[in-house]
Amino acid sequence: MFPFDSWRISLKTTQAQNLTDELADHTWALLEDLYDLGPKKRPPVYFFLSSKSKNSLRGRSIYEVDLVHRQQYLGEGITLKMPPQAYVSQIDQTIEETAHLFALSYQKSTRAFLSKARPTHSSKKELWHMCLHEVFGRFTHHLIEGKLIAFKGSRNNKDLWEMAHREGYYLAGELARAYFEERIGVKDLRGWFKMNWFSPLALKKLYQLLKKAPPSANFLKLR
C-alpha cells in the first residue's frame, strides 16, 4: 500500500468517526430528554480503525478484545459494559450502540448490577436483561429514524439466547408501532425504563402494554 492510500483511508475513518460522534450526541440528547434524565457525559462510541479508537482496548480483558475484533470482522457493532464504551463498523449502528450505553449509564437495575464487585445473576435473569437491552436499542433506532423496520423470521428458536435476541427485535418494532400510533405514551416508556430489567415483570409489562404474548410458555419462567 502506498502512503497516499494509507492517508486516504485515515481521512475516511476520521470523517466516519466525526459523523459517529454527531449521531451519538444527538441520540444521547434525545434519550435524556425523552426519559427526563441527565445530564451525564456520554461514553465513547468508536468507529473501527479510526485514529480515535487507537489504544481504546488497552486494559480490557482478552475476551473483550477478541469479542470486539470478531464484531469488527463481521461488520457489526458491540458495546462493552465495564467501563461502558462501544464500537461500530457502520455509522447507522451508532444509534443502537449509543442506546445500549445510555441504558448502562441510566437504567437503575443495570447500574446496580454492574456496581457489584463480581456481578453475577442466574442465566435466565441475564437472558431477560439482554432481551430488554435489545428492545431498547432497536426501539431507539426506530425512534431516531422515524420509521419501522419490520421484524422478519420466526420468534421461536431452539437456542434460548437466540430466541431472546429475536424477541427483543420483535418487541422493539411493536413498541415503536404503538408509540407512533399513540397507543402508549412517554409516561409508559419512563415507567418501563425504571423497572428491574433482571425480573420477568419488566418483560411482562411490555407484553401487557403491547397486548402480545411471549414466544413460548417457558420464556418468562425462572428455572
Average pLDDT over residues 138-166: 84
- Model pLDDT, residue 165: 87
Whether the per-residue pLDDT at 81 is higher than 60: the answer is yes
Q: Locate 142 and state its grid cell.
A: 426506530
Instruction: Name the β-bridge partners of 87.
Output: 46, 78
Provide the residue ranges of all domains of the chain, joining segments of one domain with +. Answer: 1-106, 108-223
pLDDT grade, residue 5 (50/70/90)? very low
Instruction: Name the β-bridge partners of 64.
Output: none
Q: How far apart are the first and last CA of the chain?
A: 56
- Model pLDDT, residue 43: 97
Which of residues 38 and 88 earns the better pLDDT score?
A: 88
Give the helix/strand (H/E) hosting 141: helix 123-145
Give the helix/strand (H/E) hosting 171: helix 160-180
- Model pLDDT, residue 152: 79
Residue 153 φ/ψ region, left for φ over 0, alpha for ψ in the -120 to 50 degree band, beta for the rest: left
- Model pLDDT, residue 47: 96
Burial class (CB in 10 A: 0-12, 13-18, 19+), 6: exposed
| Tens digit of each residue's pLDDT (9 = 90 or more) over 94-133 | 999 999 999 999 998 888 777 765 555 557 778 888 899 9
Task: Give the closest residue to 53 by CA, choosing from 89, 29, 82, 25.
Answer: 89
pLDDT grade, residue 222 (50/70/90)? low
- For 49, other C-beta atoms within 10 Å of its C-beta total 17
- In this prediction the pTM is 0.89
Average pLDDT over residues 184-202: 93
| Tens digit of each residue's pLDDT (9 = 90 or more) over 26-57 | 999 999 999 999 899 999 999 998 999 999 99
What lies within 8 Å, CB to CB, of 109 at 6+ separation is 129, 195, 196, 197, 198, 199
What lies within 8 Å, CB to CB, of 153 at 6+ separation is 166
- Model pLDDT, residue 111: 81
| Mean residue pLDDT across the chain | 87
Which of residues 146 and 124 earns the better pLDDT score?
A: 146
Is the N-terminal amide bond of 200 cis, ω within 30° of 0? no
